[in-house]
Structure 1
Amino acid sequence: MKEQNFLDNLVGVFGHPAAENPGVVIQEAAFKDMGLERWRFLTIDVDPGKLEDAIAGLKAMKMKGINCTLPHKIEVLKYLDEISPSAKLIGAVNTIVNDNGRLFGDSTDGKGFMESLRNAQISPEGKRVVILGAGGAGRAIGVELAMAGAQHITIVNIPQDEKMAESLVDILNTKTKTKAEYIPWTGDYKVPAEAHILINATPIGLYPNVDDKPNVDYETVRPDLFVQDVIPNPAFTPFLDEAKKRGARWNTGMGMLINQAAINIKMWTGKDPDKEVMTKAFKEVIG
């Protein structure tokens, strides 16, 4: 007799807001293509201050794992049993694996970002980089760029979160070979003439605020600058439009999203998904 098993294997994302997160589109497309019929990806809105309850629910429902996005990537650290060495250095986690109630956390944001950068044929080695934002994504990207040989990294962050930016700069200066500095973000940021790469690692421009763009003096964006956004929805943002208008090379957040999602799926299922299938599904929904 054929085995009957109707138990769903649950994964998903904790975020706030969460409705605009397109992860379910690419994850479930991958599951279907891989023949994982009873794997489900849930998009779950978890209010700040309710993360502990959400983690307890994850364990109670025996979910296989979860992604954490804004604003939970740093707060979630206190609820984990084990953290990867790179996530410890970064100080943030975006992917959790539930191994029979024992929670392991890792950061795949930076890894997905670096693969996207390589696909755009951009090497950070010896380059001067400006990162807008020092949250979970900015921290992961900063550490990965430093480990890849970036010469200098400037962290631009709002003064209200000065401690977060300074802690990232301290990590980069003491734990890696790169040189880093923090610049308080007041008014329109002027991109230094010596910068090679400009990265928006903030949620500015994310759906539904699709007309928003970071406070940058866009007249300082040059044609020889490479501009990268981490926003996946919409794929083409006003930030990138400003770069395009000025002749700069640019890259959307879609590649980073697909790459890190593929890593997540491998961590949860032990199998490699087809990223072309995931990209096709994303483009059909987001454009």
Structure 2
Amino acid sequence: MGQPVAGNPTQYMMEKAFIAAGLDWRYLTCEVPAAQLPDAMRGMRAFGFRGGNFTIPHKVAVIEHLDSLSTAAELMQAVNCVNRVGDQLIGENTDGKGFVQSLREVIDPAGKRVVIIGAGSAARAIAVELGLAGTEHLTIVNRSLPRGQELTDLLVTKAKLQAEFVHLVGDYEVTPDTHILVNATSIGLGDAGAKVPVALDTIVAPLVVADVIFNPPQTWLIRNAAERGCTTIDGLGMLVNQAVISFKIWTGIDPDASVMREALEEFLGI
């Protein structure tokens, strides 16, 4: 295990991928206060930036400064990737796409029943993309009743998906008909011992268990699921795939995903 690299993991991956692809491009990390977002977007147009990634608190606020949205971003009403096409800025969301791409490496979500713990931006993106990928049924599990119900209503009314909301009290018991369990909360970020509110005795093979947390990649949920014979997917693949998708959107070139994975592992010191 090496020493972590200072900075931004996505920037580190992108810069390594640009070099590997022979592109004289740069990925800049800019901190923009919420009140200055309109000025930043005008600057993005004026400087001719090819695109950019956006994170909290700008994922929703940036929409009014764009010319159009992809189908997924429109459904989610959240943008994390912007692409310039001519003089137009197009909003996209790669959060869920990166997850689904990782998931497909071990299981096709089409026709499957999926449980998602959480109802924040990651859960929203993942749920919408799973629906677009043909998932049969989604269960949203969340402690906050208003937020969980809001996401479920969006999935049912706007995305036309089969979805239900379970108000979390105590530990969630995974039902035997569940194919895929996803932790889409921030539980475990920077804390490998943080417990996800799921009853361990209901996590049994052949359940596929995924966690969006990439640091550390071996979270409490991933470790325990693996010990119980489940197939697991850590958050590293999701983050790499998000970067791969953004790279392709901006450059039109398929990057070397292995370069990005190695860069991320080097960044995290693992």
1:279 aligns with 2:261: yes
Normalised by the length of structure 2, the TM-score is: 0.85
Equivalent AA in structure 1 for residue 127 of structure 2: G
SS at match of 1:25: helix
> Cα offset for 1:256?
1.7
Give the % identical residues. Answer: 47
Which of 143, 156, 159 is 2:128 aligned to?
Answer: 143
Q: Which residue pairs with 1:199 in the alignment?
A: 182
* Matching of residues 259-270 of structure 1 within 5 Å: 259-270=241-252
> C-alpha deviations, 1:106-145, integer Å up to 9, x for none?
112222222211112x122222111112222212211222
1:35 aligns with 2:28: no
Relative to 1, partners in 2 of residues 1:148 and 1:266: Cα closer, same or farther, differing over 3 Å? closer
> In structure 2, what is the Cα distance between the partners aligned to 1:214 and 1:47?
32
Relative to 1, partners in 2 of residues 1:89 and 1:46: Cα closer, same or farther, differing over 3 Å? same
* Matching of residues 231-250 of structure 1 within 5 Å: 231-250=213-232
The count of aligned residue pairs is: 264
> Cα offset for 1:257?
1.6
For the 8 Å contact 2:192–2:218, the answer to whether it is kept is no
Q: Which residue pairs with 2:3 in the alignment?
A: none
1:104 aligns with 2:90: yes
For the 8 Å contact 1:74–1:136, the answer to whether it is kept is no
Gaps of at least 5 residues in structure 2 are 1-5
> In structure 2, what is the Cα distance between the partners aligned to 1:44 and 1:210?
29
Which segment is superposed worse, 27-36 or 240-249? Answer: 240-249
* Matching of residues 34-183 of structure 1 within 5 Å: 34-37=21-24, 39-46=25-32, 51-52=37-38, 54-59=40-45, 61-98=47-84, 102-120=88-106, 122-159=107-144, 162-176=145-159, 178-183=161-166
For the 8 Å contact 1:62–1:100, the answer to whether it is kept is no
Relative to 1, partners in 2 of residues 1:79 and 1:151: Cα closer, same or farther, differing over 3 Å? same
Q: Which residue pairs with 2:204 in the alignment?
A: 222
For the 8 Å contact 1:149–1:178, the answer to whether it is kept is no
Q: Which of 1 and 2 has higher RCO (CA within 8 Å, sep 6+)? A: 2
> Cα offset for 1:278?
1.2
**4+ residue segments displaced more than 6 Å:** none
Relative to 1, partners in 2 of residues 1:197 and 1:88: Cα closer, same or farther, differing over 3 Å? same
Q: Which residue pairs with 1:3 in the alignment?
A: none
> In structure 1, what is the Cα distance between the partners aligned to 2:262 and 2:34?
33
SS at match of 1:66: strand
> In structure 1, what is the Cα distance between the partners aligned to 2:151 and 2:170?
22
Gaps of at least 5 residues in structure 1 are 1-18
> In structure 2, what is the Cα distance between the partners aligned to 1:135 and 1:270?
30
Normalised by the length of structure 1, the TM-score is: 0.81
For the 8 Å contact 1:84–1:105, the answer to whether it is kept is yes
> In structure 2, what is the Cα distance between the partners aligned to 1:45 and 1:239?
32
For the 8 Å contact 2:16–2:260, the answer to whether it is kept is yes
> In structure 1, what is the Cα distance between the partners aligned to 2:58 and 2:189?
17
